[in-house]
Amino acid sequence: MIHRSDRRRFFKQAIAVASAAGFSQSAAFSARSKGSAAAPGNKITIACIGVGGRGTANMRGFLQEDDARVVAVCDPYEDKRKKAKALVDKTYGDSACSMHKEYRELLDRKDIQAFMIATQDHWHAVIAVAAARAGKDMYCEKPLGVSVKECQAIRGAVRKHKRVFQTGTQQRSDPRFRLACELARNGYVGKIHTLQVATPGPNYKPSYKGALDPQPTPAGFDFNHWLGPAPEKPFNPGRVGWPDWYLIWDYCAGFIVNWGVHHLDIANWGCPEVGREPFEVECAASYRNEGLTDNVASWKATFTYGSGLR
């Protein structure tokens, strides 16, 4: 039997080995668990849902953990799930890892204890709530969801079903950020009166430059499953490539959440007043209108607190 404290330890290690943009690979993977390998029956069994670039990076981290085993991979792209399975099989020296394009096939599997969720953002809440109900623990990429209500639904399901859940804010595992926040919280930088948080959103443009009319779905790609809970739309490469889907409301709220979640989290960590006290907010934004993209391109929001903190 795997105790919950062991699972928590594992997920803390897992977030460290999942490499974040800008972190060196050697540093990201230095948190591999030490000591002898766990017996096969004591390994935490993981299904990796979404095995593109981010999901595969996370999966590589799990593959280096002695007390974990990846037993299934899931992705609507056939080539991605085949590549992921090949990597798992090569690592373990067998062919036991199963492939799936539908996450619901994994919910009832008693041999799977945890999900790694690295799908497009619009899928996060649906899969996470279903996983919690099915008794799975989770490591889920940021952001939690594409709306406040989705994030609240995940929180409610995790608490109700008493699951272990961790989201992908890897800066929390970087000692440099921890040191900076400890210095700030303990007065070493003086009284904090202004915090500035920035993300690179305006610098990103859609990569697809072709026709915007409906096009045939490529062989080996289940576009309907990729859409999932999003509004039904015809296939076009400009919807599914990166960073294009990042810039479309149906699938993502944009860089304000995907990068903002990292840096706002550090601001809140270093200055807890940010998340504890009431505030007034003034915000202006511009919106995208290039190709199929339509979410927030640039923004400026000012939060003013009763203490004078801005």
Report how many domains make up the chain. Answer: 2
The verdict on 166 and 49 lying in the same domain is: yes
Report residue 229 as tokens. 């809970």
The verdict on 90 and 13 lying in the same domain is: yes
For residue 82, give the 3-state DSSP assignment. helix
In a domain, 131, yes or no: yes
Report residue 160 as tokens. 């109700």
Average pLDDT over the chain, rounded to whole? 89
Q: Which residue has the higher pLDDT, 253 or 15?
A: 253
In a domain, 262, yes or no: yes
pTM value > 0.75: yes
Q: Which of 141, 173, 205 is at the close of a domain?
A: 173
The verdict on 116 and 187 lying in the same domain is: no
Whether residue 242 has pLDDT greater than 90: yes
- Exposed, middle or buried by CB within 10 Å (0-12, 13-18, 19+), for 208? middle
Q: Using DSSP, how many helices (H) and how many strands (E) does the chain show?
A: 13, 8
For residue range 203-229, list pLDDT tens digits in order. 899 999 999 999 999 999 999 999 999
Instruction: Tell me if 233 sits within 8 A of 227, measured CB to CB.
Output: yes
For residue range 277-289, list pLDDT tens digits in order. 999 999 999 999 9
Chain centre to alpha carbon of residue 184: 27
Nearest to 266 by CA among 201, 189, 178: 178
Angle between helices 148-160 and 124-133 (to 10 degrees): 10
Question: How far is residue 306's CA from residue 263's CA, in Å, rounded to a whole number?
Answer: 22
- DSSP labels, 186-234: TTTT-----------GGG---S--S--S--PPPTTB-HHHHHTTSPP--
The verdict on 184 and 167 lying in the same domain is: no
The verdict on 212 and 260 lying in the same domain is: yes
Whether residue 267 has pLDDT greater than 60: yes
For residue 56, the one-letter residue type is T
The verdict on 231 and 154 lying in the same domain is: no
Q: Which of 117, 147, 173 is at the close of a domain?
A: 173
Q: What average pLDDT does the segment 12-27 reach?
A: 36
Predicted local confidence at residue 291, as pLDDT: 94
The verdict on 162 and 276 lying in the same domain is: no
The verdict on 155 and 31 lying in the same domain is: yes
For residue range 125-173, list pLDDT tens digits in order. 999 999 999 999 999 999 999 999 999 999 999 999 999 999 988 899 8
Question: How far is residue 270's CA from residue 268's CA, in Å, rounded to a whole number?
Answer: 6
The verdict on 168 and 291 lying in the same domain is: no
For residue 74, give the 3-state DSSP assignment. strand
In a domain, 227, yes or no: yes
The verdict on 187 and 144 lying in the same domain is: no
Q: Which of 123, 147, 173 is at the close of a domain?
A: 173
For residue range 111-131, list pLDDT tens digits in order. 999 999 999 999 999 999 999
In a domain, 310, yes or no: no
> Could you tell me the CATH number of the domain that includes residue 41?
3.40.50.720
In a domain, 150, yes or no: yes
Predicted local confidence at residue 79, as pLDDT: 98
In a domain, 66, yes or no: yes
Local confidence band at 251 (pLDDT 50, 70, 90 cut-offs):
very high
Q: What average pLDDT does the segment 232-250 reach?
A: 97
Predicted local confidence at residue 16, as pLDDT: 43
Tell me which residue range forms the domain holding 211.
180-305
Report residue 274 as tokens. 């940010």
Question: How far is residue 114's CA from residue 16's CA, in Å, rounded to a whole number?
Answer: 17
For residue 153, the one-letter residue type is A
The verdict on 63 and 166 lying in the same domain is: yes
